[in-house]
Amino acid sequence: MNFPIFPKSASTTAVQTDHLFFLLLAFSAVMMALIFLPMFFFLYKYRRQSNADRSSRKLPTEYIEITWTVIPVFISLAFFALGARAYFNEEVPPADTLQINCVGKQWMWKFQHQEGNREINELHLPVDRPVTLTLASEDVIHSFYVPAFRIKQDVVPGRFTTEWFQPTSTGSYRFYCTEYCGMDHAKMAGTVIVMTPADYQDWLEHGSVRDTLAQSGEALFRTLGCSGCHAGNSAIHAPPLEGLYGRLVPLSDGTFVRADDQYLRDSILNPASQITAGYAPVMPAYAGRLSEENLLQLIAYLKSLAKETPPKTP
Amino acid sequence: MKPEAPSIKSLVFTWLILVALHFSILGAALLPIGFFKMPLILTMAVVQTALVMIFFMEAWHGGKLLRFFAVAGFFWLMIQFILVAADYTTRMWH
Amino acid sequence: MAERTTTIAKQFEDLPQQREAVTLGMWTFLATEVLFFGGLFLVYSVYRHFYFNAFAAASKHTDVVYGTVNSVILITSSLTMALGVRAAKLIQYRNTIRFLLLTVCLGLAFLAVKGFEYHKDITDRLVPGLDFNPDLPLHGQIFFWLYWTMTGLHALHVIIGLGVISTMIGLLSRRNGRPVHAHSIENAGLYWHFVDIVWIYLYPLLYLVGRHS
Amino acid sequence: MTAEPQNYLNGEYTIKSWLLTTDHKRIGLLYLLTILFFFVIAAFAAGLMRLELLTPQGDLVSSDTYNKLFTIHGVMMVWFFLIPSIPSVLGNFLVPLMIGARDVAFPRLNLLSWYLFVLGGFFTFHAVILGGVDTGWTFYTPYSSTYSNSHVTEMALGIFIAGFGSILTGLNFIITIQKMRAPGLTWFRLPLFIWSMFATSIILVLATPVLAITLLLMGVERIWGIGIFNPKLGGDPVLFQHLFWFYSHPAVYIMILPGMGVVSEIIPCFSRKQIFGYKFVAFSSVAIAVIGFLVWGHHMFVSSQSIYAGMAFSLLSFLVSIPSAIKVFNWTATLYRGSISFEAPMLYVLGFIGLFVVGGLTGLFLATLAVDVHVHGTYFVVAHFHYIMVGGMVTAFMAGIHFWWPKITGRLYPEKWAQFSAIILFIGFNLTFFPQFVLGYLGMPRRVHEYAPEFQVYNVLSTAGATILGVGYLLPLIYLLWSLKNGPRADQNPWQAAGLEWKTASPPPEHNFEETPVITEEAYAYPPLTSSQPTPEEPHG
C-alpha cells in the first residue's frame, strides 16, 4: 500500500487552487489554536477541584462580541474574494484554446479531437497549451473531474458546458465522473495522457482517422439533407450558414441572439423556438434524431464556415 | 383580536372591487401594450391579494405578530425567486 | 388543523389564548402553503423566461371563457365565505349555515366548470405526452404540463376546502351539539381565501399570456 | 418496589394509551423509538459500505447494491433520523417543560405528526424491501425521474408524507413558543434551547413545503413519463437542484441548530455559570435560520449554474459561518471562571465543539469557490458534512439524551460507562472521518464502490474507525437500557441545573407542573461563584 498525502499537481489551475488550500489550512490552524488553547486552559484552570479565583468579573461583553463578529467578517470577505477570482479564472477560458469535444454517457466518456481522432475513456493532450472541453451528455448528469488539474464541471443533458485547463507537465492522470449517474458510475473513469507537443502531433497522425471533425460534420450536413435548403442556390428560402457563427442573429420577435454553440444546438434540435427574422418556420426539428456526438460534429462544421462570407441571395 | 365583525357593506364593496380588478386584468391582457403588460397585470393581482388578505382574511386585525406571519411566506418566496433569477439571468454574461 | 373543541382545551389557560394560538397556527400553515405553490410559480417563471414565445402560443389554447367564469365564481365564493365568518362572529348560526352552504355550492360550481374545461382540453389534445397537439411548439408541452399540475393541485385544494366547510356545516347543524367556536369557522375561511388567492395568480399566468396577438 | 408518585409514564400502561396519547412527553418517546429503528437500518447500511470500501475492488457487494446502500443510508439518516432527532424527541419532550406549559399548543396535531412520520417511514421502508432505490438521497433529475429502474416514486412519497409531519411539528413549536410561555417568561428569559428550537421550526415550516413540491414534481414526471426536468422536453435538470437545495441546505441547519441549543444548555450547567453573551447566542440562531436560506447555491458551483450566481452564493455562505463562529466563541468564554466538571453530557459537548469546529472550518474550504471546484463531489464533502451532522448533531443528541435521561426516565445512567463511551465515540469518529478529508483532496469521488488502489490506506483507516464508532453507539444503547431497571432513582434535579424542566418531578407528572410556574429571573441563574473554594461535589452516580 502506498501512502499518498497530496495529489499530483499538473495544471495552472492546480497551482492557484493549492495556494488557496494552503492559505485556508493555515487559517484553520490559527483558528483552532485561538479556540482550543483558551478552551483547554479554562477547562484545566477552572476544573471543579481547582482553587482558581472564580469571583465574577465585569467584562466588556459588547466590545468582545463585536470584535469577534467583525474580524471574521473581514477575513471571510478576503477568502471570498480570493476564491471568486480564482474561480473566474478557471471558469472563463482564454481566447484560442485547443477545442476538444467530450460526450458523457452511461457509463463512458467519448472524446473527439478537431483532427477527427476519437478516444474512449482516454484523452491525449499536448502539454502547456490551454484546452477547452465542450461537454455534452447523452442521458443523465455526469461530471468531468481531473484531480491533478483541480477542475471539475457537470455535464448536463440538453446543454453544452465547457471546462478549460492548461496541463503543465507530461504524464498520466486519472479522471473520474463525480456526479452519481447510475449503476456503473464508479467505472466511468479514465486517464488523461499529457504529451509533449511533438508526441501529441505524432499521436494524432497515427490514429486511423478518415475525416476531421468538421469534415464529419459536413458529411452529416449532406446525409441529413440540411444542404438541400441551406445551400446558396436552394429553392427553399433558408438562412445562409456561412459566416453565421459568432454573429448576432435577428429573430422574428425583434430580439437578437448571439450565434454560439448553444444557439446552434437549439436551432438544429428545435428550430421553431428561435425563428430568424425574415424566414418561414419550415425547418423540421432534429430533436431525438441526432446523437450528441453527431450534433457536435455538425456544429464543428458550422463553426468552420464562420470565416466564409454568405453568398448574395437573389 | 377583538370579536368585532366587519360590516356587510365593506365586504360587498371589496367584492365589487375584486371583480372590477378581475375584468381590468382580462381587459389589459387583450390590449396590445407590449412589455408592460405582465407587470401591470401582476400589480393588479397583487392588489387583489392585498384586498382579500386585508378585508376578507382580516390579516391586519390580529396584531403585529399575525401580520408578520402573513407576510413571512411571501417574503421567503421572494428570496427564492431573487436568488434563482440571479442564476438564470446571468448565465450568458461572459 | 384547528382543535375543534367547543370548550377550552386543557393545554390552554383561557379562551383568548386558545383563539390566538389557533389563528396564528392557521396563518403559519398558510405560509407553508404559499411556499408549496410558490415552488410551482418559480418553475413556471423560469420556463416562461426560457420559452417566452412557446408559452404565449400554448396559452392561447386554454379556454379563457371557462377561466374567467371560474374566477368570478371563486371570488364570489370568497365573499360568501367572508359573510359566513361574519355571521359566525355575531353568533348568527342560521346565517352562518346559509352562507357556508352557498360557498359550498359555488365551490362545486367551480369544480363543475373545471370538469367541462378539462374535458375540452383533452379533446383538444392538450395533454403533454399523450398525442399532444402537433400544431403547438415543443415547449408548449412544458406549459401544459404546468397547466395540469397547477390547476390540478389547486382543484385538490378546492376539494379539501369544501370538505372542511362541509364539516363545519355538519357541526353547526347538529341539533344537540355544543356551539362551534367562531375561530374554527374563521380558519376554514382563511383556508378558502387562500385557495382564492392562488387562483388570482393562476388565472393571468395560465389563461392570459399572449392573448392580444 | 416503593410506590412511585403518579407521572406521565405510570399513569396507564396499555399500548392504546401510548398510541393514542396526546401527551408531548409520550410522543417524544414514540419518536425516540421510531428514529432508533431507522438509525439501526441506516447504520447497518453504512457498516456494509465501509466493509465494501476496505478493498479497492468491488468484491463484497455489487455496484447496484452499493448504490442502494448509500441511498438507504442517506435517506434514512437525513429524513428519518437526523431531522426528527433533537427536534422531535428532545424538542417534544422539553419545549413545553422549559416554557412552563402543560402541553404543546396542538397536542392532537402533534400525535398526527408522529403518525405521518410513521406512515412516511413505512412507505420508505417498504420501498427498501421491494428492492430499494438507487438515486442517492438527492434524487437528482433526470436520473431519478427517467433513468432509474428502482422504487423512486414510493420512496419519494414516503419522504413527502414524513415532510408534512415535519411541517406540523415546526408549526406546533412556533405557536407553542409564541403563545404558551408561563407568566413572566419573556423572550430574553427563555433557555437558548428554546431559541434554537424556534429558529429550527421556522426552517421546518418554510423550507419543507418546497421539498414537498419538488418531490411531487419529480414523482409526477416519473409517473407521467414526461416532465419539466426532462431535457428532452426542454426542461432544465439544474432547476431541480435549485428547488431541492432550497430545502436541503436549510435542512442542514434543522440538523445542527437544535444541537447548538443542547450545547448552550449543558455548558452553563457544568460550568455553574450564566452563559456568556446570551443575546448574541440567541440571535445567532435566528441569523443562521435566516441566512441559511440564502446559501443553497453553494451545492451547485460546478453544476453549470451562472458563475455570478455562484459568487453571490459563495459570499453568503461565508457570512453564514459568522453566527456559528460567534456561538463557539461564546461557549468557550462561558468556561472562563466557571466551576467545570466533566460528567458525560459535558464530555459529549466538548466533543461536539471539537468536531463542529473542524466541520465548520472545512465548510470555509467548500465555500471558497476555486477550492470547491476541486473537492466538490469527493470524500472531502462527505467528511465535512459528517463532521457537522454526525460529529455535531448526533454527538449533541447523545449529550442531550444523557443530560435529560434522569428527567425522561427518572433513573440515573452509569456515569463511568457514559464517560468512557463519550471518549470512544470521539476517537472512533475522528478515525472514521478525518482520513476522508485527505481522500477527498486526493480526488476520490464519493458514491463509488471501487476506487484506485492508492486510496486504500485511508479507506482502511476509516473502516477501522467505523468499528470503534459503532462501539461508541452500541455501548450507550446497552447501559441506558440497563439503567431503565437498574439505575438509581433520580431526584427532581440531579445536575443542580437551572431551568424550568428541573423544577418538576422526574419523571414529570402528566400535566408537567403542579401549578403554573411564574418566572422572575433570567435563564441560567446559577448561584454566583464568589470564593476561590471549589463548590461541593454533587451527589450523584
pLDDT at C3 > cutoff 80:
no
Put simply, the answer to whether C138 touches A253 (Cβ < 8 Å) is no
Contact flag B86-D306 (C-beta cutoff 8 Å): yes
The bridge status of strand A131-137 relative to strand A248-250 is unpaired
Looking at the complex, does the CB of residue C28 fall below 8 Å from at least one CB of chain D?
yes
Is pLDDT larger for residue C156 or for residue A207? C156
Note down the domain range covering D126: 24-503
Distance from CA of D235 to the nearest CA of B (A): 13
Question: Helices in chain A by DSSP H: which ranges?
Answer: 12-45, 61-91, 197-206, 213-223, 226-230, 261-269, 292-304
Check B15 against C79: CB less than 8 A apart.
yes
The reported pLDDT for the residue numbered C11 is 83
Q: Do residue C53 and residue A285 have CB atoms under 8 angstroms apart? A: no
CA distance to A222, C94, C171, C187, per residue, from C174 (Å): 80, 12, 6, 20
SS3 of residue D411 by DSSP: strand
How high does pLDDT run on average in chain A?
Answer: 91
The pLDDT, as a whole number, for residue D92 is 96
* Residue pLDDT, tens place only, A247-292: 888 888 788 888 888 899 989 988 888 888 888 888 888 888 899 9
CATH architecture of A213-304: Orthogonal Bundle (1.10)
Q: What is the pLDDT of residues D218-269, one digit of tens each?
A: 999 999 988 899 888 889 999 999 999 999 999 999 999 999 999 999 999 9
- Maximum alpha-carbon separation in chain B: 59
Is residue D366 within 8 Å of A152, Cβ to Cβ?
Answer: no
pLDDT for residue D532: 57
Nearest partner of C113 among C67, C51, C153, C164, judged by Cα: C67
Residues of A in contact with D336 (CB under 8 A): 42, 46
Q: Does B70 contact C at CB distance below 8 Å?
A: yes
Q: How many CA atoms lie within 13 A of D329 on its CB side?
A: 22
Residues D455-465, mean pLDDT to the nearest whole number: 96
Residue at D71: amino acid letter: T
Within a domain: residue D508?
no
Q: How many domains does chain D have?
A: 1
Note which residues in 361-380 of chain D have CB less than 8 A from chain A: 361-362, 364-365, 367-374, 376-378
Task: Report yes or no: C144 and C62 within 8 Å, Cβ to Cβ.
Answer: no
What's the pLDDT at D2? Answer: 54
Please tell me what DSSP assigns to residue A167.
Answer: B
Asked, for residue D534, whether it belongs to a domain, the answer is no
Where is pLDDT greater, at D534 or D167?
D167
Q: Judge whether D264 and D257 are in contact, CB under 8 Å.
A: no
**Reported confidence tier of residue A314, pLDDT bands at 50, 70, 90:** very low
Rounded to whole angstroms, what are the CA distances from B29 to A288, B22, C40, C210? 36, 11, 22, 8
pLDDT band at D314 (very low <50, low <70, confident <90, very high): very high
Is the Cβ of C86 closer than 8 Å to some Cβ of chain B? yes
Distance CA D404, CA D278 (A): 22
Quick check: D541 pLDDT over 50? no
The reported pLDDT for the residue numbered D531 is: 58
Q: What's the CATH code, domain C37-207?
A: 1.20.120.80
Cell numbers representing residue C81 in the block: 365565505
**Window C:113-152, CB contacts with B under 8 Å:** none
Could you tell me which residue, D190 or B6, shows the higher pLDDT?
Answer: D190
pLDDT top residue among A23 and A225:
A23
Fold of the domain spanning A8-46+93-209? Immunoglobulin-like (2.60.40)
What value does the mean pLDDT of chain D take?
A: 94
Sheet holding A161-165, edge to edge: A118-120, A108-113, A98-105, A131-137, A161-165
B82 touches chain D (CB under 8 A): no
Contact D193, D262 (CB under 8 A): yes
What the block records as the C-alpha cell of D311 is 459568487
Closest CB from D179, D210, D225 relative to C39: D210
List CB contacts (< 8 A) between B79 and chain D. 293-294
Q: Do D373 and A48 touch (CB under 8 A)?
A: no
A130 CA: distance to closest CA in chain C (Å): 32
Once rounded to an integer, what is the mean pLDDT over residues A193-221? 91
Is C68 in Cβ contact with B52 (below 8 Å)? Answer: no
- Taking the Cβ of residue B15 and every Cβ of chain C, the question of whether any pair is shorter than 8 Å is answered with yes
Record the cell numbers describing residue A227, joined without a space: 444542404
Cα gap D231→A159, rounded to integer Å? 8
Per the model's pLDDT, the better-predicted residue between D444 and B60 turns out to be: D444
Complex ipTM:
0.93
Q: How far is CA C131 from the centre of its chain?
A: 30
A139 touches chain D (CB under 8 A): yes
At D237, which helix (H) or strand (E)?
A: helix D237-271
Q: What is the pLDDT of residue B92?
A: 77
D339: DSSP letter: -
A77-81: average pLDDT: 96
Query: B5 or D301, which is more confident?
Result: D301
Q: What is the CA radius of gyration of chain C?
A: 20
Of the ranges D48-57, D111-120, D514-523, which one carries the lowest mean pLDDT score? D514-523
- At residue A177, the 3 state secondary structure works out as strand
Q: How far, in whole angstroms, is CA A229 from its chain's centroid? A: 34
Collect all residues of chain B within an 8 Å Cβ-Cβ radius of residue C50: 88
* D166 pLDDT above the threshold of 70: yes
User: Cα(D533)–Cα(A24) distance, rounded to whole angstroms?
Assistant: 43
CA distances from A236 to A19, A283, A314, B50, D425 (A): 58, 10, 12, 55, 76
All structural domains of chain B with their residue ranges: 1-61, 63-94
Mean pLDDT of C168-194: 83
Distance from CA of D498 to the nearest CA of B (A): 30
| CB-CB under 8 Å, A273 with C137 | yes
- Percent of chain D clearing pLDDT 70 (strictly above): 97
Task: Evaluate whether residue D512 is within a structural domain.
Answer: no
Cβ pair D5, D505 in contact under 8 A: yes
Question: What long-range pairs does A85-88 form, CB within 8 A, spacing at least 24?
Answer: A86/A16, A86/A17, A86/A20, A86/D369, A86/D370, A87/D301, A87/D307, A87/D310, A87/D311, A87/D314, A87/D369, A87/D370, A87/D373, A88/D307, A88/D311
The DSSP annotation for D11-65 comes to S---HHHHHT---HHHHHHHHHHHHHHHHHHHHHHHHHHHHHTTSSS--SS-HHH
DSSP string of C184-196, one letter each residue? HHHHHHHHHHHHH
Q: pLDDT confidence of B58, banded at 50, 70, 90?
A: confident
The mean per-residue pLDDT over the stretch D169-176 comes to 96
**What does the pLDDT look like over C110-125, one tens digit per residue?**
999 999 999 999 999 9
Residues sharing a CB contact under 8 Å with residue C115, sequence separation 6 or more, in sequence order: none
Residues with Cβ within 8 Å of A52's Cβ and at least 6 positions away in sequence, in order, are A45, A46, D337, D532
Out of C1, C11, C128, whose CB is closest to D101?
C11
What pLDDT digit, counting tens, does each position of D16-25 carry?
Answer: 999 999 999 9
- Chain A positions in Cβ-Cβ contact with residue C138 (cut-off 8 Å): 270, 272-273, 285, 287
C-alpha cell at A142: 455526469
Beta bridge partners of A153: A144
Give Cβ neighbours of residue A125 (< 8 Å, ≥ 6 apart): A98, A100, A131, A167, A192, A193, A194, A195, A200
pLDDT tens by residue, B18-39: 999 999 999 998 887 777 888 8
D107 is a domain residue = yes
**pLDDT-derived band at A233, boundaries 50, 70, 90:** confident
The C-alpha torsion from A223 through A229 and A235 to A239, rounded to 10°, is -160
Interface test with D, best of C8, C10, C11 (most D CBs within 10 A): C11
Whether C31 has a pLDDT exceeding 50, the answer reads yes
- To the nearest whole Å, the CA of A308 is away from the closest chain D CA by 32
Q: Which chain C residue's Cα is nearest to B15?
A: C79
List pLDDT tens digits, range A111-133. Answer: 999 999 999 999 999 999 999 99
Using left for φ > 0, alpha for ψ between -120 and 50, and beta otherwise, residue D136 falls in left
What pLDDT sits at residue C33?
95
Find out whether D295 and D320 touch, Cβ atoms under 8 Å.
yes
- Residues D90-103: tens digit of each pLDDT: 999 999 999 999 99
- Is the Cβ–Cβ distance between C12 and C179 less than 8 Å? no
Write down the pLDDT at residue B2: 44
From the list B4, B42, B52, the residue facing C193 with the nearest CB is B52
The 10s digit of each residue's pLDDT in A15-25 is 999 999 999 99
Q: Which of C23, C2, C43, C15 is nearest to C167 (CA)?
A: C2
Is A106 within 8 Å of A184 (Cβ atoms)?
Answer: yes
Q: Which of B1, B12, B53 sits opposite C23 (nearest CB)?
A: B1
Sign of CA dihedral D395, D401, D402, D403: positive
As beta bridge partners, residue A152 has: A145
pLDDT score at C135 = 83
Contacts of C87 in chain B (CB under 8 A): 5
C-alpha cell at D262: 443542547
Looking at residue D498, its amino acid is A
Q: Sort D224 into a burial class: Cβ within 10 Å, 0-12 / 13-18 / 19+.
A: middle
Q: How far apart are CA C123 and CA D466, in angstroms?
A: 60
pLDDT, tens only, D418-454: 999 999 999 999 999 999 999 999 999 999 999 999 9
From A272's Cα to the closest Cα of chain C, the distance in A is 7
CB C40 within 8 A of CB C151: no
- The Cβ of residue A191 has, within 10 Å, a number of other Cβ atoms equal to 14
pLDDT at A203: 94
Partners of D489 in the beta sheet?
D411
Could you tell me the CATH number of the domain that includes residue D386? 1.20.210.10
Does A42 contact D368 at a Cβ distance shorter than 8 Å?
no
Mutate to test the interface with C, among D228, D246, D516 (most CBs of C within 10 A): D228
Residue ranges of E strands in A52-201? 98-105, 108-113, 118-120, 122-126, 131-137, 142-146, 151-155, 161-165, 171-177, 190-195
The backbone torsions φ and ψ at residue D183, rounded to the nearest 5 degrees and listed phi first, read -55, 135
Q: What is the pLDDT of residue D1?
A: 45
- Nearest residue to C81 (alpha-carbon basis) of C158, C7, C2, C22: C158
C-alpha to C-alpha distance for A107 and D147, rounded to whole angstroms: 13
Closest CA of chain B from C142, distance in Å = 17
Cα-Cα end-to-end distance for chain C: 46
Yes or no: say if D466 and D473 are a contact pair by the CB < 8 Å rule. no
Instruction: Report the percent of chain D where pLDDT is more than 90.
Output: 90
Cβ–Cβ contact B80 with D under 8 A = yes
Instruction: State the pLDDT confidence band at B63, using cuts at 50, 70 and 90.
Output: confident
Helices A292-304, A213-223: axis angle to 10 degrees equals 100
The structure's pTM equals: 0.94
pLDDT tier at D107 (50, 70, 90 boundaries)? very high
CA dist list (Å): A269 to A276, D440, D456: 15, 39, 45
Per-residue DSSP letters for B7-74?
-HHHHHHHHHHHHHHHHHHHHHHHS--GGGHHHHHHHHHHHHHHHIIIIIS-TTTSHHHHHHHHHHHH
Chains within contact range of chain A (3+ C-beta pairs < 8 Å): C, D
* Cα four-point dihedral sign A145, A147, A149, A150: positive
- Indicate the residue of B12, B31, B88 with minimum beta-carbon distance to C46: B88
